[in-house]
Amino acid sequence: MRELRFDPIRNRWVIISTERARRPSDYTVANNQTNTIDKNAIACPFCEGSEDKTPPEIFAIRRNQSKPNSPGWRVRVVPNKYPALQIEDGAFRYATGIFDVVSGAGAHEVIIETPDHNKGLGDLDVDWITDVLISFRERIKDLFLDPRLRYVLIFKNHKAQAGASIAHTHSQLIATPMVPPVLKQELTVCRENYRSKERCLICDLIKQEIEFGKRIAYETDDYIIWAPFASSFPFETWILPKKHLYNYALLNDDGLSKLAYTLKLNLLSLKLLLNDPPYNFVLHTSPPKFTRPGHPEHWDSIEFDYHWHIEIIPRLTTIAGFELGAGFYINPTPPEVATEYLRDAINSYAGKTQEKKISLDR
Ligand SMILES: [Zn+2]
Ligand SMILES: [Zn+2]
C-alpha cells in the first residue's frame, strides 16, 4: 500500500508506505542495528561491477560510451528498490468519511554519486560533483513532464544517524503528487511577500545578509554560504545563489560547476570541523508549473517570487519530545558563532596544501 492521507487537524499530508516494514518485528531489527555504517564493500549494490544488484538504470553519466547497467559510469540513477511512492500507481483522489486520500503516484530514485565505495560527496573533485548536480537537473527536467507530479524533492542522508541505510555515497529523489508541507509553506510565504511588495523575499534577505556579514561563511561571485538567522540546528547552512532564479533545473553546466565548488567547500568544512558528521541536505526548487482547472493562479508568479537554494543540516542533536510535540527547535550554537568556525575551516582547508588548492580553484 502506498497512499497519501490528509491530517485534518495538523493540516498536512502523510505518506503511508508499507514497502519496507510492516510487522512489529521488522522495527525491532532496525532498532537493534548499531549506529556505525558497514564499511566493507562486499555485497554493496552501489559499487562498480554490482550493476545487476539494482533495478535497471534510469539515467547515467558514463565514460567511453560504456553500455547501460555495466561498469564504466561516473554517476548512476536507479529506482529505489523499496520505493515510498511509485509512478505506476496512478493518481486518484477519494474521501473516506472526513478523511482525504490520494493514491501514491510518484517516483523514488537513488542517485549513486560515484563508483568509489570509500568517498563522500565532498571528497569528490569539482568536475565529479558537477556531474552529480547535472544528474539532479536532468532527473528534475524529466519528471516535470509528468502532470501527475506536483513536486520533485532531492535530498541526501549521510551516515546511518542521518537516515542512510547503505554506506556507499548516494542522494535520493522523491517525486510526490502533492507539494510537501515544508515546501508549501516556504512557497506560500514567498508568494505572499511578492504579492504585497513585488520583490523576492530571498533576494532581499541575501542583500541584507551580505551587508551585515556576520552570518556569511563564504562568498563567491555567484553563491553565498549562509548560516540562517533563525537556524533550527547547530551549524545549519544554506547555499544561496546571488542571482535570482526560481528553478534549479534552468542552471547550465557552468552554473552547476560553480555550485559544485561551493558545495564541496561547505561539505569539507563540516567534515573538518565536526569530524565527518552525519548530515542531510535538501534541494529546494520550484514545483512544475502546470495550469490546473480551478486553480488559474496556481504558482503563476513563481518565476519572480521563489529563489532556489540548498539547505545542509548536520545531525548533531536529536529531535526529542519537545521538538516533536511543540514544533520548536532548540539550537545551542548561534549562527553567528557557527559562521566564525565555518569561515576558519573553509579558509584553512582552501589554503592547506598547494595541491588541494589547485583542485579547489577552478
Ligand atoms: Zn559500494
Ligand atoms: Zn530572488
CA nearest to 121, candidates 271, 249, 258, 234 = 271
Q: What is the pTM of this model?
A: 0.91
Instruction: Determine the Cα–Cα distance for residues 170 and 46; give it in Å rounded to an integer.
Output: 9
Ion ligand 1, residues whose Cβ is below 5 A away: 41, 44, 46-47, 117, 168
Q: Which-ligand-closest: CA of 240?
A: 2
* 338 domain-assigned: yes
Ligand 2 centroid vs 240 CA: distance in angstroms?
9
Ligand 2 centroid vs 222 CA: distance in angstroms?
13
Ligand 1 centroid vs 62 CA: distance in angstroms?
17
Q: Which-ligand-closest: CA of 167?
A: 1
What pLDDT is stored for residue 40 in this prediction? Answer: 55
Question: Annotated catalytic, 108?
Answer: no
Contact by Cβ (8 Å): 199, 206: no
| Same domain (yes/no): 222, 330 | yes
Instruction: Determine the Cα–Cα distance for residues 287 and 218; give it in Å rounded to an integer.
Output: 28
User: Helix (H, G, I), strand (E, B), or coil: what is residue 239?
Assistant: strand
| Same domain (yes/no): 235, 287 | yes
Pairing of strands 216-219, 223-226: antiparallel
Number of domains in the chain: 2
* 31 domain-assigned: no
Instruction: Determine the Cα–Cα distance for residues 313 and 125; give it in Å rounded to an integer.
Output: 22
What pLDDT is stored for residue 320 in this prediction? Answer: 86
| Same domain (yes/no): 91, 204 | no
What pLDDT is stored for residue 294 in this prediction? Answer: 77
What pLDDT is stored for residue 103 in this prediction? Answer: 81
What pLDDT is stored for residue 295 in this prediction? Answer: 75
* 123 domain-assigned: yes
| Same domain (yes/no): 1, 73 | no
| Same domain (yes/no): 147, 232 | yes
| Same domain (yes/no): 115, 12 | no
Q: How far apart are the first and last CA of the chain?
A: 48
What pLDDT is stored for residue 15 in this prediction? Answer: 86
Q: Provide CB contacts within 8 A for 283, sequence distance 6+.
A: 136, 153, 154, 155, 248, 308, 310
Q: Provide CB contacts within 8 A for 270, sequence distance 6+.
A: 122, 235, 237, 277, 279, 312, 314, 342, 345
CA nearest to 239, candidates 261, 254, 214 = 261
Contact by Cβ (8 Å): 26, 18: no
| Same domain (yes/no): 228, 243 | yes
| Same domain (yes/no): 208, 276 | yes
Walk along the chain (362 residues) and give the pLDDT tens digit of each residue. 788 888 888 888 888 887 776 677 766 655 554 444 455 556 899 999 999 999 999 999 998 788 999 999 999 999 998 888 887 666 688 888 999 998 878 899 999 999 999 999 999 999 999 999 999 999 999 999 998 899 999 999 999 999 998 999 999 999 998 899 999 999 999 999 999 999 999 999 999 999 999 999 999 999 999 999 999 999 999 999 999 999 999 999 999 999 999 999 999 999 999 999 999 999 999 999 877 777 767 788 999 999 999 999 999 988 888 898 988 999 999 999 999 999 999 987 766 533 444 344 44
* 129 domain-assigned: yes
Q: What share of the chain is helix, strand, coil (3-state, %, to 5)?
A: 35, 25, 45
Instruction: Determine the Cα–Cα distance for residues 280 and 156; give it in Å rounded to an integer.
Output: 5
Residue 54 structural domain: 39-81+106-360
Active-site option among 108, 158, 168, 170: 170
What pLDDT is stored for residue 89 in this prediction? Answer: 62
Ligand 2 centroid vs 256 CA: distance in angstroms?
18
